[in-house]
Amino acid sequence: MNPSEMSFYQPDHDAFRVSVREFVQREISPFYLEWEEQHLVDRTAFAAAGAAGVLGTRVEEAYGGGGTDDYRFRFIVAEELASAGAASYSAGLAVQEDIVIPYVMELGSEEQKRRWLPGLTSGNQLGAIAMTEPGAGSDLQGTRTTAVRDGDEWLISGQKTFITNGIQSDTIVVLARTNPDAGSRGFSLFVVEAGDSGFSRGRKLDKIGLVAQDTAELFFEKVRVGRDRLLGEEGNGLRYLMERLPLERLSIAVAALCSAEAAYGWARDYVFERQAFSQDVGDFQTVRFTLAEIETELEVTRAYVEAATLKLNRGSLTAVDAAKAKWWASELQQRVINRSLQLFGGYGYMLEYPIARAYRDARIQTIYGGTTEIMKEIIGRDIAARAKRR
Ligand SMILES: Cc1cc2nc3c(=O)[nH]c(=O)nc-3n(C[C@H](O)[C@H](O)[C@H](O)COP(=O)(O)OP(=O)(O)OC[C@H]3O[C@@H](n4cnc5c(N)ncnc54)[C@H](O)[C@@H]3O)c2cc1C
């Protein structure tokens, strides 16, 4: 079965793809290696995405967005960026589009939406989500950043790390503990703005891969915020995070699948151009078997991820569905890229080849957005609960 026969996309998606591809060719590919060298995507690339309608697809038109809740449009953006080997940019864009914007859109008051959504949608403002701390990643109940009441305001103090878009962000959604005695109901979400007194950024962190993606430490020293910066209700922070994880995790699964498909495509083409022992490398049976295995795995995975996307569109994607998609697709991505790289021989190890950069960039995917182990924990807990109910 060829994935394109599954009618996942409709004509309006195909038209959107044409404009995304043109955007990537014009605004991303010519500059990408330069961004990797400077270890930072130029922020104008986000504004360019806004201008091209590639960003803010889900945002209501009143705030400048595309006004669709069809995630297939995002899928197309991920496919096109993966084909161009632009993983660092894709990851930064995904944080803005699939995490920060939905938080503001779904939890923000009308005033908050008017304040932040137009800039996030146009890409003139960059967003970040600051959950992880030096001592708390998988276990967010270990969050130490506090927001202490001072009359009608809060003073936020603490430290966050590994924050995507951290260096360039203007609008940062921060998880902080508002009541140490309230257990999981003791956390809230606030928006900190770059100019707030007491907010500062630490190092731009050096990473194995995604080298152009901006990842940073953030510091909060008694950052004073009023009610207008509280997202949703006080005490609901962890619940809000959990509710939005299916989208965040599907976003990573989609990026993982697209990146694996792109890598496989490069390797498949290469082995029929490269000769060894007087024949195409692709004519050795072992190479063909490798291609056969990879292509099968990719098609089976695509069927699941596409089904998950349609479930998200219908509002029925569960945390368990998304956990399955995330761990499976991100682990598959690593296997596929590793095997595809092998087919390039020594050239696969050279960073001038997209396959080498894809290999390096893939490693994080089983870690952020919830590790593979945490995904299996979520799925396993659900299995156990169902089994015990019988
Ligand atoms: C490039 C990059 C970008 C990131 N972007 C962001 C961002 O924008 N915002 C943000 O808030 N965070 C971000 N993160 C942080 C990321 O989400 C965390 O690193 C991740 O959730 C894991 O947390 P941790 O690093 O504290 O690892 P830990 O939680 O300390 O985990 C260490 C190991 O223990 C395992 N483990 C933990 N608990 C269990 C368990 N119950 N059962 C079995 N094994 C377990 C983990 O799977 C892992 O293998 C980013 C990280 C990186 C590297």
Q: Which of 162, 172, 252 to mutate to test the pocket of ligand 1 (most atoms within 8 A of CB)?
A: 162
The Å distance, Cα 375 to ligand 1 centre, comes to 11
State the alpha helices, DSSP H only, in the chain.
Answer: 11-23, 32-38, 44-51, 72-83, 87-94, 101-107, 110-122, 237-271, 285-314, 319-343, 354-362, 372-389
Distances 386 to 325, 326, 383 between C-alpha atoms, Å: 20, 21, 5
Please report the pLDDT score of residue 203 as a whole number: 87
Residue whose CA is closest, atom 32 of ligand 1? 138
Ligand 1 atom at shortest distance from the alpha carbon of 164: 8
Non-local CB neighbours of 132 within 8 Å, separated by 6+ positions: 160, 161, 162, 163
1.20.140.10, 3.30.420.40, 1.10.150.570, 1.10.3720.10: CATH of 239-389: 1.20.140.10
Indicate whether residue 327 lines ligand 1 (CB < 6 A): no
Residues in the chain: 390
C-alpha radius of gyration, the chain, whole number: 21
Every domain range in the chain assigned CATH 2.40.110.10: 128-235
Residue whose CA is closest, atom 26 of ligand 1? 137
Residue whose CA is closest, atom 12 of ligand 1? 132
**Distance of alpha carbon 65 from alpha carbon 58, whole angstroms:** 6
pLDDT digits (tens, 9 = 90+) for 323-359: 999 999 999 999 999 999 999 999 999 999 999 999 9
Please report the pLDDT score of residue 385 as a whole number: 97
Indicate whether residue 32 lines ligand 1 (CB < 6 A): no
| Interval 209-235 mean pLDDT | 97
pLDDT digits (tens, 9 = 90+) for 155-194: 999 999 999 999 999 999 999 999 999 999 999 999 999 9
Beta strand 187-193 pairing with 171-177: antiparallel
Ligand 1 atom at shortest distance from the alpha carbon of 95: 8
Please report the pLDDT score of residue 170 as a whole number: 98
**Distance of alpha carbon 322 from alpha carbon 334, whole angstroms:** 18
State the catalytic residue, choosing from 97, 217, 248, 261: 248
pLDDT digits (tens, 9 = 90+) for 350-366: 999 999 999 999 999 99
In CATH terms, the fold of domain 3-125 is Butyryl-Coa Dehydrogenase, subunit A; domain 1 (1.10.540)
In CATH terms, the fold of domain 128-235 is Butyryl-CoA Dehydrogenase, subunit A; domain 2 (2.40.110)
Distances 313 to 1, 63, 69, 90, 310 between C-alpha atoms, Å: 24, 21, 7, 21, 5
Q: Which of 367, 377, 381 to mutate to test the pocket of ligand 1 (most atoms within 8 A of CB)?
A: 367
Please report the pLDDT score of residue 390 as a whole number: 83
The answer to whether the beta carbons of residues 204 and 215 sit under 8 Å apart is yes
When pLDDT is cut at 50, 70 and 90, the band that residue 320 belongs to is very high
Every domain range in the chain assigned CATH 1.10.540.10: 3-125
**Catalytic residue status for 248:** yes
Ligand 1 atom at shortest distance from the alpha carbon of 213: 1
* Of the candidates 364, 264, 382, 236, the residue with the CA atom closest to the CA atom of residue 322: 382
